Amino acid sequence: MKLTGVELRTIQLPLVSPFRTSFGTQTAREALLLRVVTPDAEGWGECVAMSDPLYSSEYVAACADVLRRFFIPAVAQVERLDANAVGPALAPFKGHRMAKAALEMAVLDAELRTRGVSFASALGAAVDRVPCGVSVGIMDSIPELLDAVEGYLDAGYLRIKLKVEPGWDVEPVRAVRERFGDEVLLQVDANTAYRRSDARHLARLDPYNLLLIEQPLDEEDLLGHAQLAKVLTTPVCLDESIVSARSAADAIALGACSIVNIKPGRVGGYLEARRIHDLCVAHDIPVWCGGMLETGLGRAANVALAALPGFTLPGDTSASDRYYAMDITEPFRLSDGHLTVPTDPGLGLTPIPDALDAVTTNTEWIPL
Ligand code: OSB
Ligand code: MG
C-alpha cells in the first residue's frame, strides 16, 4: 500500500451521564480519529487517549502532535506498507503507544478492506458474538449506584465492574452483593488509587467473591502488586501496568497479576494486543478486553479482538448507548448480553458522515 494522505479529526461526543473514576469525572468524550487514504481504500483509526493525561501520560493534543510531526511521516516512507510494517517503522520513537496504535489500526483497516478480510478473521476470532460487561462509575450515594446497576442488569449485561477508590470500595461492593446476590459476576477497578499500605484494607473485599481487583496500585509498582496478590484471595488483574507483551511477561513471571485486561491502545495496537493474548494463553492467564469509551470504530475492533479464544471473561465491550445517545457509526446493540462481531471487511463499518460532522471540532488533512 501507499498512503496518499491522512486526515486527523477531533470529535467531542457528549456522554449520556457523567462517568466518575478515581482519576476524575468525564461528561464528554473528546477523541482523535484518523482516516488514512490509499489508492484502493480508506482506513479508520481511533486514538483512545483522553483530553487530559490522567489515566496515562498520553492526551489527545499530544497524540495529534506526535502523529503529525513524527509518526505519519515515518509510515509514509515505508516501501511496501501494511499493518505489520507500522510497528517496526515507529519503533525508534519511544512511548506514545496510543498514538501508534491509532495509526496502526487505520493502516490495518485500509489493508483489510483492500484484501476483503474482517478484523475478526485477521486477528483469529473464534466466535461470532462476545459476552459483555459494563463499567459503573463512582456515584454520589449507594442508592444511586444500586439504581444504575439494576438498570444495567435489566439491560442484560453479564458482568458488573464497579469503579472504586478509598472511601468508595467495601460499602458499594457489599451493597451490590446484598441487593443482587452472589451469582452476579462482579469485579472492581481502582485505577491506581491505593498504596501498598492499603493491603489489609483491600483484603476486606475478599469475602465478596469478586472476579478480580483491577490495578489497585501505581502503574509502575509491579512488585507491590506481587506482594498484594499474596495477601488477597481476590485475584489481581493489571490494566495500566501492562503496556507491552514484555511487561505482561514480566508481570506474570513476578506474580503481579493472575488476569490481564487487554486494551489495544494502551499496548501500541491490535497486533501487540494479540501477542499479549497469545502469551497469556500460553501461561494460562485469563484475559478480557478493556475499554476506553470508544466510538463505534474502536468498539468494532475491540469486539473482534474479544472474540479470540483466550478472552474467557466478559469485557468492557458495552453497547454504544452505555456512553452515547448518538454514536458516529451504527450503534452496537446488546442482544442477550452479547455484541455481534462484525464480519464485513476491515472494521466492518464506517462513520455516518452527518453524525461525524455534527461532532467534529477540528479536521486536518495531511497530504503525502
Ligand atoms: O480503567 O478500564 C479503565 C474508562 C476510561 C479509562 C480507563 C478505564 C475506563 C473504564 C471504562 O473502566 C471502560 C469502557 O467501558 O469503555
Ligand atoms: Mg481499568
Ligand 1 neighbourhood includes 58 CB (under 6 angstroms): no
Q: Which pLDDT score is estimated for 6?
A: 98
What integer pLDDT is reported at residue 286 of this predicted model?
98
pLDDT at 38: 97
Q: pLDDT value at position 245?
A: 98
- How many angstroms is it from 240 CA to the middle of ligand 2? 7
| The model scores a pTM over 0.95 | yes
Neighbours of 282 (CB within 10 A): 11
CA distances from 220 to 217, 238, 262 (A): 8, 11, 17
Alpha-carbon distance of 340 to 97, in angstroms, equals: 28
Q: pLDDT tens digits for the chain (368 residues)?
A: 999 999 999 999 999 999 999 999 999 999 999 999 999 999 999 999 999 999 999 999 999 999 999 999 999 999 999 999 999 999 999 999 999 999 999 999 999 999 999 999 999 999 999 999 999 999 999 999 999 999 999 999 999 999 999 999 999 999 999 999 999 999 999 999 999 999 999 999 999 999 999 999 999 999 999 999 999 999 999 999 999 999 999 999 999 999 999 999 999 999 999 999 999 999 999 999 999 999 999 999 999 999 999 999 999 999 999 999 999 999 999 999 999 999 999 999 999 999 999 999 999 999 99
Fold of 121-340: TIM Barrel (3.20.20)
Q: Is 219 in the pocket of ligand 1 (CB under 6 A)?
A: no
Nearest residue (by CA) to ligand 1, atom 6, is 292
Q: Are 38 and 110 in contact (CB under 8 A)?
A: yes
Distance 164 CA to ligand 2 centre (A): 10
In order, the DSSP letters of 5-63 are: EEEEEEEEEEEEEEEEETTEEEEEEEEEEEEEE-SS-EEEEEE---SSTTSSS--HHHH
Residue spans in the chain of domains classed CATH 3.20.20.120: 121-340
d(CA 137, CA 165): 11
**Residue 183, C-beta contacts closer than 8 angstroms, at least 6 positions apart:** none
CATH superfamily of this structure's domain 5-116+350-367? Enolase-like, N-terminal domain (3.30.390.10)
User: Closest ligand 1 atom, CA of 294?
Assistant: 16
What's the 297 CA to ligand 2 centre distance in angstroms? 20
- Could you give the residue range(s) of every CATH 3.30.390.10 domain in the chain? 5-116+350-367
In total, the chain counts a number of residues equal to 368
Q: Which of 19, 21, 332 to mutate to test the pocket of ligand 1 (most atoms within 8 A of CB)?
A: 21
Amino acid making up residue 166: P
